[in-house]
Amino acid sequence: MTVTVVYALPGRAALREVRLTEGATVREAITASGLLEEFPELKQGIAGAGIFAATVSPERLLADGDRVEIYRPLQADPKETRRRRAARRRREGAARRA
């Protein structure tokens, strides 16, 4: 079977097609893709993996044609980012009213 393994970075994406035997897992596809060697930061660990945007376990069995996605850690906490944006908008709104 053939699956695609994708690792996206800002401004760049690495995409590898790999041929695996039936019964292969997400972990095996990632290893076979060679992306762990190409991107040293992945050796520190990945934030997760998914198939067609659905988060899955590394032990999940693959089907022919699956697209395995390697997820990066978040750069910022989404809740904190929303708080900062809301505070900035409140300040900007108060400045316009003044």
**What is the per-residue pLDDT across 37-62, written as a single tens digit (0 to 9) for each?**
998 888 777 778 999 989 999 999 99
* pTM for the structure as a whole: 0.73
Residue 42: what pLDDT?
80
Please, what's the largest Cα pairwise distance for the chain?
A: 68
Residue 90: what pLDDT?
82
Average pLDDT (19-45) is 90
Rounded to the nearest integer, the mean pLDDT of the chain is 87
Task: State the CATH architecture for 2-97.
Answer: Roll (3.10)
Q: How confident is the model at residue 79 (pLDDT cuts 50, 70, 90)?
A: confident
Q: How far is CA 60 from CA 23, 24, 70, 78, in A?
A: 9, 8, 14, 28
The first and second tokens of residue 53, run together, are 């945007």
Q: How confident is the model at residue 4 (pLDDT cuts 50, 70, 90)?
A: very high
